[in-house]
Structure formats: C-alpha cells, structure tokens
Amino acid sequence: MAETKREIERKYEATEDTPVPDLTRVSGVSEVVDRGVMELDAVYYDTPDLRLAAGGVTLRRRTGGSDAGWHVKFPVAAGVRDEVRAPIADTLPGELAELLRSRVRHAEVVPVVRLRSARDVRHLLAADGTLLAELSVDTVHAERLPAGAAAAWTEIEVELDDGVDPALLDAVGKRLGKAGIRPSAAPSKLARALAETGAEPPATPAPVEPGTAGAAVLAYVREQAEAIVALDPAVRRDLPDAVHQLRVACRRARGAFKSYRRVLDRDVTDPLGDELKWLAAELGVARDQEVLDARLTARVEELPPDLTLGPVKARLRRRDAALAANARHQALAALDSDRYLTLLDALAALLADPPLRKAARRDADAVLARAVRDDHDRLGGRIHRALALPPGHERDLALHAARKAAKRTRYAADAARPVLGKPAGKLAKRVKAVQSLLGEHQDSVVARAALRDFGIMAHGVGESAFTWGLLYGREEAVAAAAERELPRVWTRASAPGLRAALSR
C-alpha cells in the first residue's frame, strides 16, 4: 500500500572535507545527535526521452536506509516535494505506475541513472528530544545507465521533520552560509547526475519566432497541456481541488483553440477541442457533485432547527456519499482510458508540430487584441439576448450560455495578458465578476432541480417536504438577485475605455 510524505528540504554544496558548523547555535536546536552512516543504492527510472525529469518528477527503486522501496516524487514548490512510497518489489508497483501514466503514456520506463550514496546522518533535536530536522552529508557516486558515464560529488541535505516550522530551515541555512556552505544549484540528485553525465532532458524547440501571435498562443496552450499532465496524479491521489483545476486546464486549452482560430488551424484543433470537452465532462460529474454537495449542506446548516423538518441532513449525506463514489469512479475511468492517452498524445503532437496559420507569423499585439475583442462582443450579445427573455427556463438556458461565453472571454484575456499587459488583466478581472455572478445563477438552477427531487422523494415516503420547498424558494431568490445584478456588473465589464485599451 502506497503512502505519501511531504518532503521539505534544502541542499548545499560540500566536499568530503567540509566541516558542518555547530548547529546548536540555531534557535530551537538543543542537540545534534550523530546517527551514523548508511549505504543507499538507488536506480532511477524514466522514459528514454526523459519525460519525468523534464517535469521535475523522479521515480526510483532504492535499497538501504529506513525507507527502502519504490518512490515517486512530485514537485510542489521550491524545495518541497510529495514523495509517494510503495514497498520494495522487483517491478514497478501498479499504484505508482498509475500516477505516472499521464507522463509516460505508451512509452517504456527504463533505468537511466544509478546513485550510490554514503549518508552520514545527524538529527537536530529540540530541548524535549523532539526531532526537528535531519541533516545528512551525502557522498554520491552516479552512473549513467546504460552508457556508463560517471560523476561524483558531496552535498549536504537538510530535511525538515513533519509539522516543524519551515523557518527552521532558513535559520539552519543562514548558519551554514556563515560557515561558507552555499546552496546547491541542482534541485535534486537526479538532476545533477543527468547534467554531469551529459543526459539532461532535451530543450523544447521554438516552432515560431518570439513576439509573434503564434509564439504567444502556443505558450499558453503548452501551459494548459502541462497542467493537465501534472494534475492527473493529483486527481488520482484525490487531492483537494485537483478535479476542478484539471477541468479548468481542459477548458482553457479548448477556449484558446476557439478564440485564436486565426492562429491555429481549426481542422486540427476542433477535434482536439471535442476531446477536451469530453474529458472535462467526465471530470465534471465529480466536480459538479462537489459544488452541489457543498451548497446544499451549507443551505441546510443556515436553517434554524425549527425549520428543519424530517431527516433532511441524513438524506443529504446518503445521497452525497453514493453520488460522490460514482462520480470519482467515472473520473478515474476516463483517466485510465485509451481515449485519454490518445488526447495527451495529440496535444503533445500539436505542440511539437503546430498547425500555424498565416496570422501566427504576425505581431502578437494586434492579433491577440482582436481575438479578445471578438470574444467580448460575443459575450455582450449573449447577455443582451438572455436579459431580453422573460424569467423562466429559456432565460436560465440563455444565462448559462452567457456564462460559458464569459469563461471563454476571460481565458482569452488571460492568454493575452503577457502580450497586452494591464488592459488584458483588467478586462479579465471585470469579466470574471460577470462569470462569477452567472455561475451563482447556474448553481442555483442546478440546486433547485436537486431540491425538487428531494421534495418529491420526501412526499412519496410520507416525510415532510416543507424544508425542501423552503430551500427551493431561497434558491429562487438567489437567482432573481443575480439577474437583477447582472446589468450593473456587465456595464463595468463593457466600459468603452476598457475594451479600447486593448488596442493601445
């Protein structure tokens, strides 16, 4: 069974003769205890083109030490990684292979580096004996596989124990710095081994000149494609908000294909957009369920006890548990499908050989500004059509369509921000307010449908439907308030100067 550990550490350059200063002079460190030397032997695996290393991910099988086994490390922030561990085995455990699927896809995983380290360990303890951090002086011998190129170095590694304030690492680093010990330039032992044995991940070639519309759009699409790949294991690990963020990356990429159709050929991007829509929809079952669960639970909690009639909370819990399990199963089934891998391969192929149109070679400013203005005009048309309809089902559908247009406009402005600067950022912020308001309206529409079902169920089994009807009425009021507020919010998002500034 795999387990996860948050690893917060710093690495420093050293030699075999580098003395470690007295760290009891660091505030909070009362004692430094020598734990002896352990021998570690690790083989690192990757695809032949080093896809894992390119994404800052490491996969190793290590023997020796207290945590022998298979380890996958995912970057979280500078100096912070999540290490997922599985017991030692001859082959890569399936639960770890799944976490690497979005990067590896159909490629083979092969040994690329062997690291043998002599680790001299010291424990930094608090006055009560609590472990604060582990400092190790590692003498490393690296061998490139199968080529045989070798490298060797010594480094100091300081790893924080669970729950300890990261400020301790700053204090230890300051003390090491005073002793002339400098931070390592390499983010990991594997990165250093690859660099020093001449096997770094290949650089991504630029398919179009910098400053052009093609360069700007492809940079944005690449960012979304990399987010999809990186968020896949987070969804599998059931990390908070991972499903939502992966779904957003799908929508942003699809929105870029639509908004910047003058830059990228639609004959290629339209089928890709359809597949991104499919993936977002499969993930959407889980995400929509999360949103609805949170909304209904909050609404019930807001009610005074004398207005909560019948087993309202119990029915919510039972429904939520059943639907959440089904939604997660559907999301994981999508990520495990061949269709999903084909989508990832297609995104990689598009970035490697982009289907550029004539406008891709033009200066980015004019091309991107025009695309954002076109999306903004489209959004305005949808809002005006929706508000012209009488309240009811057709208006709800029209407002939902306007919400989708708001997302597309906002994403187009976000993509253009590196080129158009503050005007694009300001427009994106104003349009986000429109999107949020329309999102609140749509969430109310979905909630009312669920509440109606609850009311019918309660009535059918002889329970009081009063609370469900009360909540339904409150959601109607929420929707009506959003509709009244929309003209004011849209007026701010459609100010003439806001749109005109994109062309300056």
In this predicted model, what pLDDT tens digit does every residue of 125-134 receive, in sequence order? 999 999 999 9
User: How far does Cα 324 stand from its chain's mean position?
Assistant: 21
pLDDT at 442: 95
pLDDT at 328: 84
CATH number at residue 282: 1.40.20.10
Among 143, 171, 196, residue at a domain's last position:
196
CB 399 within 8 A of CB 438: yes
Residue 390's SS3 state is coil
Structure pTM? 0.89
CATH number at residue 143: 2.40.320.10
Same domain, 43 and 180: yes
**Helices (DSSP H) in 303-421: which residue ranges?**
312-335, 338-352, 364-388, 393-420
Same domain, 326 and 382: no
Q: At what angle do helices 242-259 and 266-302 cross, to 10 degrees?
A: 140
Same domain, 264 and 351: yes
Q: Is residue 206 part of a domain?
A: no
pLDDT at 199: 78
pLDDT along the chain (504 residues), means of 10: 88 90 95 95 96 95 92 94 95 96 95 96 96 97 92 96 95 95 93 88 75 95 97 94 94 97 96 97 81 87 88 80 78 95 97 94 95 96 96 95 97 96 95 97 93 88 88 94 96 90 74
Distances (CA, A) of 188 to 104, 161, 171, 478: 20, 19, 21, 51
pLDDT at 106: 92
Name the DSSP class of 63: E
* Distance from C-alpha of 271 to C-alpha of 264, rounded to nearest angstrom: 13
Rounded (5°) CA angle 151-70-348: 80
Among 315, 339, 362, residue at a domain's last position:
362
Same domain, 163 and 269: no
The 3-class SS string of 275-306 reads HHHHHHHHHHHHHHHHHHHHHHHHHHHHCCHH
Name the DSSP class of 206: P
Q: Is residue 203 part of a domain?
A: no
Q: Is residue 205 part of a domain?
A: no
Q: In total, how many domains does the chain have?
A: 3
Among 136, 164, 196, residue at a domain's last position:
196
* Distance from C-alpha of 333 to C-alpha of 324, rounded to nearest angstrom: 14
Same domain, 116 and 33: yes
Assign residue 99 a region: left if phi > 0, alpha if psi is -120 to 50, beta otherwise? alpha
Q: Is residue 442 part of a domain?
A: yes
**What range does the domain containing 245 cover?**
212-362
Same domain, 136 and 221: no
pLDDT at 504: 60
